[in-house]
Chains A and B, each alone.
Chain A
Amino acid sequence: MSPTAQALLQFLQTWWVELVCGVVIVAVVPLIAGYVVLLERKLMADMQARLGPMRVGPHGLLQPIADAVKLLIKEDIVPRDSDALIFWFAPVISMVAALTSMGALYFGPSFRVAQDINVGILFVIGVSSLGFLGIILGGWASNSHYSIIGAIRSTAQLVSYETAGGLAIISALLLSGTLRIHAIVDAQSSNHVWFIFLAPVGFFTYLVASIAETNRAPFDLPEAESELVAGYMTEYSGFRWALYFLGEYSNMIVVASVATTLFLGGWLRPFPNVHWLNWLDFLPALLIALVGAYCVYRAGKQPVKVQVWFMWAVAFACFAVALIFLVPWIVAPLRSAISGLNGAFWFLLKVSAYIYIFMWLRFTLPRYRFDQLMHLGWYILIPLAIVNVFSVGVAMLFESEFGWNRWLALIVTTAFTLAVSLYLVHVHDKRAAAATSATAATSDSYAG
């Protein structure tokens, strides 16, 4: 074997996990984003008592692929007076920032690109926030009023809610005492509890801030259809629009992964240290096999022959995945892969649950007005996050200095945080009521 080939082989042996995961992230995330869109449309349809996309594939299962092909072959329009270079480049910034920040994440204990970065969680947050550069520049370069107002709104929203989100993250970082992603999850395993139970206010603040950061309803002011057409994306079409879209959905996956890592126990299964619940390790294979069985059951009821075949194909794919999960249990040399596979399953399950909550909120809550959004961010969320950081710190101090029980300390300080939040809401309500009565008085004077 020539030395070059040997060097290459050695390189591959050292880096194959990183390479495979990197390729998977770049190649599969767009597909996942497409199916998240389909799920969202189906869910919206369900909540509004409709069927949603049904035409392409059984129950519209091939709709994302049809949409992707349509977007790829659409005409790419560049407005005449736009700044063409920035207009071309801006969507790429959005997409690249989201994918790069995924590089530092751990999808399960062994699936990752970058190995154990010392500032891992900060890297994810910092780099994913660069995506807003793409939004701002795209809105500015379009040379259109709708775009620029959408971009300015998104900037203001970013500045307000990133502060709250960053402060919310600090509460979990205080509890884990590290910035390494792997060590954060290990801390939750050695504490025998997910941090959502230790810092519930922090999790809630991060949930709200992450919805606002990903520009989703009820905080989707930057692209409010009824006011701004499509916000910063108004002038975009075809593939560039698709890039923005992908960036947005990748960002959703990123914030969901950050929340999962920090608050929901990462890749730990429920009750990771309780031994009589060890049968939960078989659950991933079982669940996927059940989905496959359901597909077989539904296959007989499809009206068109192609759809029957497609259902069978999906069922076989599910069985194959379930088999992959089961193989390490049977083949002894692969036993070490169990934790990796199950970890990935639980991690992705939690991420999906988080994204599902996003969708659920989107169809349940009406959109905020812009001043309400700013008030919520600056008058309630940021003070709440600051008080929460303070409370968690005080609780840890009580535990280490005065020997309090950790739960007692955290319950006391959380109660304090909640009291402060109630006070904040009360003050805000009073101010809002005063403002309404003031405007009512002026309109009365005009009427009289």
Chain B
Amino acid sequence: MLDSILFYFFAGAAVLSAALMVTRRNVMHSAIFLVTTLLAIAGIFLQLRAEFLFIAQIIVYVGGIMVLFIFVIMLVRLDVAIHQIRFRMQRLVAFLVTVALGLELTVILLLAGRLPGGGLFVPKSADADRLPPNSEELAKSLFSSYLLPFEIASVLLLVAMVGSVVMAKNRKRTDES
């Protein structure tokens, strides 16, 4: 009972603020609604007893990425920039993407019962308080069965980091000379 109340609260908050995020004119307001969306999704993680994902969502997305988003918004005057670089075909592309996404969702929902493993509906879910602690389980599976993908992802991130540092350095040098 409490679980479903929490789920609908967080899900409603996420959907509502996502809609507001897309429709707001002011970029900073959009950023704030993105923050609330991410927090609501973190709440859904917690309601599913995935406490590590919950806190990782808050630290990485809200504490890290959103801070950088807002930083960029404050540094760059987006109101001017958006008018200059408006994409001509935006409406057409957006329409096509929406139709494709809608079709995909409809097919999945219609076929839900026939998918292997019962599809979206889990007939017998485990008792939430009997589940093993999520952080430990996550660490175990990351460092045993999924070690290779984990390492590949970390190398990828490292390369991206080094690349960004090199790019930033180069521009500084040309500025100074």
Contacts and interface: CB of A to CB of B under 8 A. Distances in A.
B68 interface: yes
A137 B32 contact: yes
Contacts of A151: 74
B59 A122 contact: yes
A167 interface: no
Nearest to B134: A118
Interface stretch (A127-135, A246-254, A270-278, A362-370): A127-135
A130 B62 CA distance: 7
A53 B141 CA distance: 59
B28 to A, nearest CB: 6
A99 interface: no
Contact of B71 (A86, A129, A130, A155): A155
A7 to B, nearest CB: 15
Given A117-B51, A118-B134, A126 B63 contact: yes
A158 B59 contact: no
A159 B68 contact: yes
A133 B35 contact: yes
Q: A-side binding surface: helix, strand, loop or mixed?
A: helix
Given A125-B59, A148-B74, A136 B67 contact: yes
Contacts of B58: 126-127, 130
Best-buried of B35, B52, B67, B133 by chain A (most CB within 10 Å): B67
A126 B55 contact: yes
A119 B55 contact: yes
A83 interface: yes
A152 interface: yes
Nearest to B52: A119
Contacts of A83: 26, 28
Contacts of A398: none
A122 B57 CA distance: 11
Interface residues of A, number: 26
A61 B30 CA distance: 46
B63 A119 contact: no
A124 B64 CA distance: 15
Contacts of B133: 118
A179 B135 contact: yes
B28 A140 contact: yes
B161 to A, nearest CB: 12
Contacts of A126: 55, 58-59, 63
B122 interface: no
A123 interface: yes
Given A86-B32, A126-B59, A130-B63, A118 B74 contact: no
Interface string A87-109: 00000000000000000000000
A162 interface: yes
A155 B32 CA distance: 16
Q: How large is the interface on B (under 10, 10 to 19, 20 to 34, 35 or more residues)?
A: 20 to 34
A23 B62 CA distance: 27
Given A136-B67, A155-B70, A159-B67, A118 B51 contact: yes
Contacts of B54: 119
Interface in B32-91: 32, 35, 51-52, 54-55, 58-59, 62-64, 66-68, 70-71, 74-75
Given A136-B67, A155-B67, A129 B28 contact: no
Given A130-B58, A179-B135, A119 B51 contact: yes
Contact of A86 (B28, B52, B59): B28
Contacts of B32: 86, 137
B55 A123 contact: yes
Contacts of A119: 51-52, 54-55, 135
A9 B59 CA distance: 38
Contacts of B28: 83, 86, 137, 140
Contacts of B29: 86
Contacts of A155: 67, 70-71, 74
Interface string A220-236: 00000000000000000
Interface string B130-148: 0001110000000000000
A122 B63 CA distance: 12
Contacts of B63: 126, 129-130, 132, 162
A156 B75 CA distance: 12
Contacts of A129: 59, 63
A438 to B, nearest CB: 10
A184 B71 CA distance: 35
Given A118-B133, A126-B63, A152 B51 contact: no
Contacts of B55: 119, 122-123, 126
Interface string A290-326: 0000000000000000000000000000000000000
Interface of B: 26, 28-29, 32, 35, 51-52, 54-55, 58-59, 62-64, 66-68, 70-71, 74-75, 133-135
- 4 closest cross-chain pairs (CB), A and B: A126-B59, A129-B63, A126-B58, A122-B55
Given A122-B59, A140-B70, A156-B71, 17 more contacts: A86-B28, A86-B29, A118-B51, A118-B133, A118-B134, A119-B54, A119-B135, A126-B59, A130-B63, A133-B62, A133-B66, A137-B70, A155-B70, A155-B71, A155-B74, A162-B63, A179-B135
19 contacts: A117-B51, A118-B135, A119-B51, A122-B52, A123-B55, A125-B59, A126-B55, A129-B59, A130-B62, A132-B67, A133-B35, A133-B67, A137-B32, A137-B70, A140-B28, A155-B71, A155-B74, A158-B67, A179-B135
